[in-house]
Structure 1
Amino acid sequence: MTSTPLPLGSGSPPEVIEQCLASATEHFMNAASEAFALIDQDGRVVRANIAYRRLTGPAGGAHDASILSYVDPDKREAVRETLRALNDKSPGRTTQFRFRIGNEVRLIDAEMSWMGPSGLISFVGRDVTRQDVLERERQETATARDAVEQVGDIGHWRAGRDFKLQCSPGASRILGLDPAAPPLVLTDLVEMIAPEEREAVVQAARDAFEKRKPVKQTFSLRRADGTTRMIRVAGAPSIDARGQVEAMHGVVVDKSESHVALQAALNADSTVRRFVQSAPMSICMCDNDLRVMMASASWIAEHGLTESDVLGRNIYEIQSWIPEKWRAMHRRVLRGEAMSHESDAYDSPRGDQRWLKWSAAPWFNGDGQIGGIIAVHEDVTAIVKAQHEVESSKERMSFGMAITQMMIWELDFEMRETYIEGDWKHFFPQRPSFDSLTGGDSWIHQSDREMLANKWRAHLAGGAPYTAEYRVTFADNREIWHAASIRILKTVKGSPARAFAVIQDITARKHIELKAMEAEQRALVAAAAKSDFLSNMSHEIRTPLNGVLAVSEVLLRTQLDERQGEMVRLISTSGKTLLRVMDDLVEFSRLEGDDISFDVRPFELEEAVRNTCEAARTRAEAKGLRFDTFISASCDGVFRADPVRIGQVLGNLLNNAVKFTDQGHIGVSATVEELAESKTQLRLSVTDTGVGFAPELAERIFERFEQADISTSRRYGGLGLGLSIVKRLVELMSGKVSASSKEGEGSTFEVTIPISRDRIAALGALTTVAVEDFDAETSIENLRLLVAEDNPMNRRVVELLLAQSGLHITFAENGKEAVEKFSTQKFDLVLMDLQMPIMGGLAAMRAIRAWETEKGRVPTPMLAVSANATDDHVQEAKEAGADDHVAKPIVRETLFEAIARYARRTAQTSTADDTDFDLDEFDIAV
C-alpha cells in the first residue's frame, strides 16, 4: 500500500517527518465530531480528542485515565473482557453501554478496533442519549393513547372526500367494526344509524364538507353484532391549498352509559335530580364542604363508579389528582364568583395531557346563602387536538402558499367579514375588505374591472364557479397578475352565504405570454410582409410575362421556319415554366399561412378529371410518352366538392409525372368508392415509369423544398413545392396522400378525398348548358368590347390576341376613363384590369354597376383581369361587380372562351323571353 507523500522536501530529516505526521494526526482527531481515544487493553487512555474530553470531562482524557471508570458498574467487567479479547484475529467490536459522568448518565454507542502491533485499541463513541429518550417517549405516548382509547371509550376517526371512514382501534371497537376490514363508506355507516336520526347526521356531514362547520352529533347506532349503542361524534375539517375541505378529523365516544342513566333519571321524584341525572353532559352538584349531592350519569361514568359510590363523598376523595388551580377555582366559586374556561389543559391521572371545557357557579339555598357549587364540564381533548392539527395544517398550507405565491380569502356574507390565508401584502396594496372584494376597488386595473364585475354577477345569479385573470395596481405603479378561482356557496333560500377564492401570482407567466404574443405578432407581420411581397412580385412578373407568352403564342400562329418556331417554342416553354414556379410559390405561401378557402359546389366529376388529364396529355405526348386514362363509371354524375382544388391536386401530380418521365408511359385512374354510413370518397392514382426514388424517401418528398436528391433539382429544375402543396391541399380536404416507388423504375401516387353525390339530379342538365362549347371565331364577331388596361404592353397583347376576331375594341387607360366611356358608349362586354392609376378596376366596376342600376340598364358582363388570382382577390372582384375573372398571363383560348360565354349570355338576354334558368347564378371558372 502506498500513501500520498507529505509536502516535505526529499531531504527532510526523519524527526521532521514524524513531527508533521503527528501534527496531522492530532488535527484529524480533534476535527472529528465523535469521541475518539486510543486506549490499551486495560482501558487506560493513551490519547484522546477534544470530543472525548468534552464527553468525559477534562480528566477523562488525561494520560492513564481509564475508560472503564466511566462505564456503568454492571457493564464494566463485560467491557473489560471485550477489550482483552481484541487481537489480530478478532479486530473489532460494537457495543452499547452507559457512561456515568458525575450525576449524569449518557448512553453510548461504541466501536472498538484493534490497532495491530502497537497493542492499542481505537475507541469511537457516539452519544445517543437524546435519541433513546425520544424513542421511549414515543413508545410511551403510543401506549398512553391506546390506553386512553381502551379506558375512556373513545376513538379517533378520519373521513376524506372519498367518504371512506378510517378508524383507530378504539373507534372500531365503539362502532363494532372489524379493525382488519377495509375502511367503511359513510353511506354504510348511515344505514347503521336509527332511521329517525339519519337526516340530521347526513346534514351535519354535508355542512362539514360544504360549509366547513365542525361536527357534533349524538345518535343511536345499531352495530353489526346486533347491539345498540348511544354514540357521540365530534370533529373539525382540514382545508387544502385550494380552500376546500380535504378531510374531517375527530373523535367518537360511547355515551351508552349516560343514556342508561338518563332513562333511569326520568323516573325519579325530584325534578332537579331528574334534570341533573338526565343531563347529557358531566354535571356535579356539591355542598359547601364539596361533598357530592348529585351528579349526572356522565360525570359518574367518567370515574368508573356508581351513584352510591359518589354521593356524600368529598370530590377530592373521589378525584385526589385534582390540580391546585382547580382547587383555587373552587374556593373562589364558594365565595360567590362564577367562572368558566373553554379549553383548560391538565394532566390526567393516567399521565397524559387533556383539555376540559368547564363552567362553575355557586348555587343558593332558600335563605339566599351559598349552598355550594354546581359544575359542568366536557372533555374537549379530541377537539383541541383537532384544532392543533388544523393550525399545523394551516401553517403548512401557509408555507406552501408562500412558496407557490398563492393566497386564499373567504367571505362571510352574513357577518360581512373577510378571512385571509397567505401573505396578502404580496397580492394587494391594502388588506382586502368585504366591500372591496364584493364591489371592486381602485386597485383593480381599470381595463379588468368590468370583466370581473360581470363574472361575479353571473356567478351570483346562478352561474358556475369561475376563474379570472386580472391585474392589480400598486401605489408605485407596479402591476401584478392574479389568477383567481372563485366559488360562492348559497343558503337554502338561494342567497349567498360564503365565498371562497384561491389566488395565485401569475405575473411571471403573463410576462412570458406577452413576450410570446409579441413574437407571434412580429411573426404575423413578417408573414404578411412576405405574402405581400410574393403577391407584388407575382404581379410584377406576371405582367411582363403576359406579354412574353401572348406574343410567343401569336408568333407561333404566323409563318415561321423550323428554326424560328423552335426558338419561339423555347420562349413559350421557359415562360410557362417560370409561371408554374411563380404559381407554386404563391400557392405555397397561402397554404403555409392558412390563407386559402374552398368552394364546395355541385360539379361533374368525370368531366373535371378528364379536362385535367387532357391538359397533361398534350405535354406527355409531346415528350413521346403514352398517356393512359381510366375514369370509372362510378365517377359519372354530379358530386359536391371543390373541383378547382381537386383539379389542382391531380394537375400537380401529373405535372410531376410528365416532368420526371423521359420514356415509357403515364397512367391515371379515378374511382369513387362507397364507404360505411353512406359516405363516399374519390381515389386518384397517378403512375409513371420515370426516375422514381428510394422507398425510404416516400415521406420526405412531401416536405417543402424537398426532392429525391440534389441531382434532381439540377437536372429537372423546380423548387420542390409541388408535392408539399398536394399534401397540404389534400389534408385540408380531410383526405390522404401516399407514394410508393422503386428508384429507376417509376412511381405511384395515390390520393383519397371525401366527396359526396349531389342529391339534386336536375343540376346535371343545367351544368351541361353552362359548359356548352362555343365557336370562338364566329360567336363573338361584331361584339363591342371595352378594355381597361393602363400598361401599353398589355394593351398591345390584348390587341394581338384578339386580332381577326371581329371584335370592336375600345381601350381605356385607367378606371376613370373606362367609366366615362362606358356611360357614353354602348358595349357588349367589359375587360377590366384591377390595378390601374387614378381609379382602380374595383372602384371602376362598382361605379359602372351603380350607373346601370341608376339608369335601369341590364348589367353588362364584366371580366376582371389581374396577375393576382387568389381566392380572396377573385371574390373581391365578384363583389365589386365582375362576372368572372381571367388571370394573367392571358391564354388566348381562355380569353376567347370567356368572351364567347358571356357574349352568348348577352345575346340570350337581348333576344329571348324564356327565363326558365339564369346562367348568372352559376360561377363558371375560367
Structure 2
Amino acid sequence: MLNSIRKLFRRTVASKRDEFQALFAQAPFGVVMVDPQIGVMFSVNGHFAKLMGTSEAHLRDVPWATVACSVSPSGETDAHGFTHPISAADARVHRLLRADDVQVFVEVSALATFPDRQGHAVCVLMVKDISEQVLAEEQLRVSEQRLRLLTDSARDVVWTMSPLGQATYVSPAVLQLRGITPSEAMAQTIDETLTPDSRDAVIRYFFEVATAVQQGVTPPQFRSELEYWRRDGSKFWTEVLAFPVMGANGALVEILGVTRDISQRRLYEDSLLEAREMAEKSNAAKTEFLAHISHEIRTPMTAILSLTELVLNTPLSESQQSLLNKSKSAGRLLLGIINDILDLSKLDNGKLELANAPFDVNDVLQQVSDLVSETCAIKGLRYDVEMAQDVCPYRIGDSQRLAQALLNLVGNAVKFTEQGHVRVWVRRLSDPGQAEQLRFEVQDTGIGLAPALRAKVFEGFVQGDNAQTRAHGGTGLGLSICKRLAQQMGGDVGVTSQEGQGSTFWFTVQMPVGPSVPSAHLKSASAQTKEMPRQVQGVHILLVEDNLSMQGVLKQLLELAGARVDLAENGQVAIQMIDDVRYDLVLMDMQMPILGGLDATQIIRQKPAHQDLPIVALTARGFIEDRDRCAEAGMNDYLMKPFEYKDLIAVLQRNIPSWSVEA
C-alpha cells in the first residue's frame, strides 16, 4: 500500500515538474532560477536570455550580482544585489547590463521558493522589462526639473491651483513681486491676495470653469488685469493668464497660471490718459476761446459788411463806389482769415463734417472763377480753366469744401503771380463707374518755391521767408487747410515748383458720380436780385438782438426786402412779444444777456401755439456743435455772422410760410 502511494506521489510531482518546465520556457517574461544562498543563476528561460542579448548557457552559474544592480526609489543603486537571502515579498527595480554593454531596466519579483531534488532551496524570479517606462519617467523628471528651474528663475510668478481654489504651487518670483515667500502666498486667502474687484473677477471665472466642467465642455481660459496686495498693504496691477488643466477622464486637475507685473505699463497708460484729458481740456478751452473771439469779431464785421451793402444800394459817385467796394473786399478778406482759423480748429478736433449731396463740378469752377476774376483782371493775368472730356461733372460730395480747397490753391497762385497766367485743370484718375478720384491742378507763372520750403509748405502757419513772399501777407493756413480737406475727402495734396519760374499745386478727392443737377449759374444775377426782395414783402419779423448796431443794420436790410420788423433786446422780452403778437418769423441771436436765444427758444417751443413758428438762429460762433445745439433747442435754421444781404434773404425764403408773403 505504501509503495503505491509513493509511486502516485512521484508521478504527480513529475507531472507538475513537466508543467512548470513548460511554463518556464514559454513565459512572456524573463524567468530566472537563483540559489538564494549564494546568488548564482543556475537556470534562465529564453525570454531572459534574449533580454540580456546572449544565450541561456552563457548565463548559467553566473552570479546575479554581476549582471544586475538594484535601484532604490531615489535612483541610487544597491551594490549587494541578490547576495542576501530573498523572500517572496521582494520586488525591486534592477538595472541589467546586457552582453553588448547596453543597460536595461527590469522589475524583479520572487514568484516562489521551493526545494530542488536534492532538497536545496530554489528562488524563482520574474523579470519584466520596464526600460521604456523608466525612460519615460526619467524624461518626465528631467522635464519637471527643467520646468521648475524655468519657473523658479522667471520674473513672472507661475502658480497652480487646485479645483477647490487652493494654491498648490507658487514660484519664488512672488517674493520680488509681492514681498512674501511662496509658502506665505499659498497660505493666503483670496481676500488677502486680491483687491475686492479683482477677487470678484476670479470668483466669476471659477464659476465659469465649474459650469463648463458640469456641462462636459472645455473650460475657458482666463486673461485679465488684476490688482494684488503687497505685504506692505500697497496695491499694484498685474496681467494674469490662466489655463485649466484637464485629466483624461474630463475632470479638472488644476489651474495653471502666470502673473506678470504691469504696474509700470499702467502708470504709463494712466499718464497717457491724463495727458489726453489735459489735451482735450486744452482743445475745449481753445475752442471756447476761438468761439468767443469769433463772436467778438463777427458781430461788428456783420455791421461793417451790411452797412457797406446798404450804402452801395444808394446813389453814389464812381469814386465812392470804388472805395466802398475796396472796403467790402477788405472785410471779406478779414472774414476769410477768421474762417481759416476756425476751420483749422475744427479739423484739429475732428469736428469738420462733410456734406454728401449731388452737385456740378462746373458750378464749383465757376464759383472760384467769380471770386478771383476781378483780381486777375487788375493784375493782367490770364486765367484759364480746363476740365478733361472724360470727367463727368456730376458728383456726390461737399461742393463747398471742394470750392474752399480749390480757392486756397487758386488764391495763392493769383496772389504770388505778378505776370503770366494761372491755369486750372481737372482730371480723372480712376476708372469710370467707380468712386472716382478727381485731380485738381493749379499752375502759375509766379515766384515759385525754394526746395526747403516745398517740403513744409502744407504745414500750418508756414510761409516763405523772403521779403517778396512776406509782402503778400496771409496767415499761412490756406495750404494746411487744403491738405486736411483733401485727406478728409479721400485724397491728398502735392506740389512741383521751381524757384522764380512758377509752381503747380494739386490735390485729389474721391467723389462718386452722381445724378445730373441743374446748374446754379443758369439763373442770371439780375433775375435773382429782382426776385429776392419781393419774397419777404409784408412779412412780419421779430428781430431778437442785443447789439444796437446789429439791430439798426439788420432792421434796415429787412425793411429793404419789404419786411415789417419789431425789435427785442433779449430772449425774455422776445417771449412776451411773441405771446402778444403773431409773427411770421423770428431771427434769434444766440448770445444775449438776461436770457439767451437757446433758452428762449426752448421756452417758446413748450407753448402749443408756437410749435410751428419759424425761428432762425443768428450766431457769431462758427462750430458744428453750435448748429446742433440750435436744432436741439427747436430752431429751424441757422445763419452765421457775418452774412451778406443775399444770405439773409435766402434763409428767409427757406423758412417763411408761403401764406405770410404778400402778393
What TM-score bracket applies, with the shorter chain setting the length?
Answer: 0.7 to 0.9
Name which of structure 1's ranges 324-333 and 886-895 shifts more when overlaid on structure 2: 324-333
- Judging changes above 3 Å, is the alpha-carbon distance between structure 1 residues 573 and 637 closer, same or farther for their aligned structure 2 residues? closer
Q: Partner amino acid for 1:604?
A: D
Q: Partner amino acid for 1:871?
A: I
User: Is the aligned partner of 1:305 residue 2:61?
Assistant: no
- Give the C-alpha shift of residue 306 in structure 1: 1.9
Q: Partner amino acid for 2:409?
A: L
Distance 2:588 2:389 in 1: 41
Paired residue for 1:418?
Answer: 168
Instruction: Tell whether the 8 Å contact from 1:273 to 1:294 is kept in structure 2 after alignment.
Output: no
In the alignment, which of 384, 388, 395 is matched to residue 639 of structure 1? 395
Instruction: Tell whether the 8 Å contact from 1:445 to 1:471 is kept in structure 2 after alignment.
Output: yes
Paired residue for 2:34?
Answer: 286
In the alignment, which of 483, 491, 510 is matched to residue 754 of structure 1? 510
Distance 2:488 2:557 in 1: 38
Q: Partner amino acid for 2:442?
A: V
Paired residue for 1:245?
Answer: none
Distance 1:765 1:450 in 2: 67
Paired residue for 1:521?
Answer: 277
Aligned residue pairs, count: 627
Paired residue for 2:139?
Answer: 386
The 5-angstrom pairing of residues 900-915 of structure 1 reads 900-903=653-656, 906-907=657-658
Taking structure 1 as the reference length, what is the TM-score of the superposition? Answer: 0.59
The 5-angstrom pairing of residues 79-478 of structure 1 reads 270=19, 274=23, 278-279=27-28, 284-289=32-37, 290-292=39-41, 295=44, 297=46, 299-311=48-60, 313=61, 315-316=63-64, 319=67, 326=78, 328=80, 330=82, 334=86, 338=90, 340=92, 358=107, 360-361=109-110, 363-365=112-114, 372=123, 374=125, 376=127, 378-379=130-131, 382-383=135-136, 386=139, 389-390=142-143, 393-394=146-147, 396-398=149-151, 400-401=153-154, 405-411=155-161, 413=163, 418-427=168-177, 441=191, 443-451=193-201, 465=221, 467-478=223-234
In the alignment, which of 627, 637, 640 is matched to residue 887 of structure 1? 640
Q: Deviations over 1:567-607 (max 9, x none)?
A: 54554444333322222122112212323222223333332
Distance 2:111 2:84 in 1: 9
Paired residue for 1:868?
Answer: 621
Q: Partner amino acid for 1:506?
A: I
- Give the C-alpha shift of residue 655 in structure 1: 2.5
Instruction: Tell whether the 8 Å contact from 2:439 to 2:509 is kept in structure 1 after alignment.
Output: yes
- Give the C-alpha shift of residue 867 in structure 1: 1.2
- Judging changes above 3 Å, is the alpha-carbon distance between structure 1 residues 391 and 719 closer, same or farther for their aligned structure 2 residues? same
Paired residue for 2:7?
Answer: none
- Residue identity over aligned pairs, in percent, reads 25
Paired residue for 1:725?
Answer: 481
Instruction: Tell whether the 8 Å contact from 2:356 to 2:397 is kept in structure 1 after alignment.
Output: yes
Paired residue for 2:549?
Answer: 793
Paired residue for 2:9?
Answer: none
Q: Partner amino acid for 1:735?
A: G
In the alignment, which of 680, 686, 692 is matched to residue 436 of structure 2? 680
Q: Secondary structure of the equivalent of 2:592?
A: coil
Name which of structure 1's ranges 564-573 and 699-708 shifts more when overlaid on structure 2: 564-573
Distance 1:530 1:275 in 2: 101
Distance 1:495 1:335 in 2: 41
Distance 2:50 2:164 in 1: 41
- Give the C-alpha shift of residue 753 in structure 1: 0.8
- Give the C-alpha shift of residue 786 in structure 1: 1.4
Paired residue for 2:533?
Answer: 777
Distance 2:584 2:482 in 1: 40
- Judging changes above 3 Å, is the alpha-carbon distance between structure 1 residues 366 and 291 closer, same or farther for their aligned structure 2 residues? closer
Distance 2:539 2:444 in 1: 46
Q: Partner amino acid for 1:288?
A: P
Q: Partner amino acid for 2:168?
A: T
Q: Partner amino acid for 1:892?
A: Y
Name which of structure 1's ranges 537-546 and 719-728 shifts more when overlaid on structure 2: 537-546
Instruction: Tell whether the 8 Å contact from 2:41 to 2:63 is kept in structure 1 after alignment.
Output: yes
Paired residue for 2:258?
Answer: 502
- Give the C-alpha shift of residue 491 in structure 1: 5.9
User: Is the aligned partner of 1:628 residue 2:384?
Assistant: yes
Paired residue for 2:448?
Answer: 692
For structure 2, the residue ranges without an aligned partner over 5 or more in a row are 1-16
Paired residue for 2:630?
Answer: 877
Distance 2:468 2:169 in 1: 74
Q: Partner amino acid for 1:907?
A: S
Q: Partner amino acid for 1:588?
A: L
- Give the C-alpha shift of residue 561 in structure 1: 5.7
Paired residue for 2:14?
Answer: none
Q: Secondary structure of the equivalent of 2:506?
A: strand
Q: CA RMSD for the aligned pairs?
A: 4.4
Taking structure 2 as the reference length, what is the TM-score of the superposition? Answer: 0.80
For structure 1, the residue ranges without an aligned partner over 5 or more in a row are 1-267, 913-926
Distance 1:614 1:804 in 2: 26
- Give the C-alpha shift of residue 731 in structure 1: 0.9
- Judging changes above 3 Å, is the alpha-carbon distance between structure 1 residues 808 and 880 closer, same or farther for their aligned structure 2 residues? same
Distance 2:279 2:606 in 1: 41
Distance 2:429 2:301 in 1: 42
In the alignment, which of 353, 357, 361 is matched to residue 597 of structure 1? 353
Instruction: Tell whether the 8 Å contact from 1:355 to 1:381 is kept in structure 2 after alignment.
Output: no
Q: Deviations over 1:722-777 (max 9, x none)?
A: 10111011112211222223333332222221111236x7x7699999x9957122
- Judging changes above 3 Å, is the alpha-carbon distance between structure 1 residues 381 and 388 closer, same or farther for their aligned structure 2 residues? same
- Give the C-alpha shift of residue 866 in structure 1: 0.9
Q: Deviations over 1:6-37 (max 9, x none)?
A: xxxxxxxxxxxxxxxxxxxxxxxxxxxxxxxx
Distance 2:513 2:147 in 1: 67
Instruction: Tell whether the 8 Å contact from 1:786 to 1:831 is kept in structure 2 after alignment.
Output: yes
Distance 1:765 1:621 in 2: 25
- Give the C-alpha shift of residue 700 in structure 1: 1.8
- Judging changes above 3 Å, is the alpha-carbon distance between structure 1 residues 317 and 433 closer, same or farther for their aligned structure 2 residues? closer
- Give the C-alpha shift of residue 827 in structure 1: 1.8
- Give the C-alpha shift of residue 522 in structure 1: 2.1
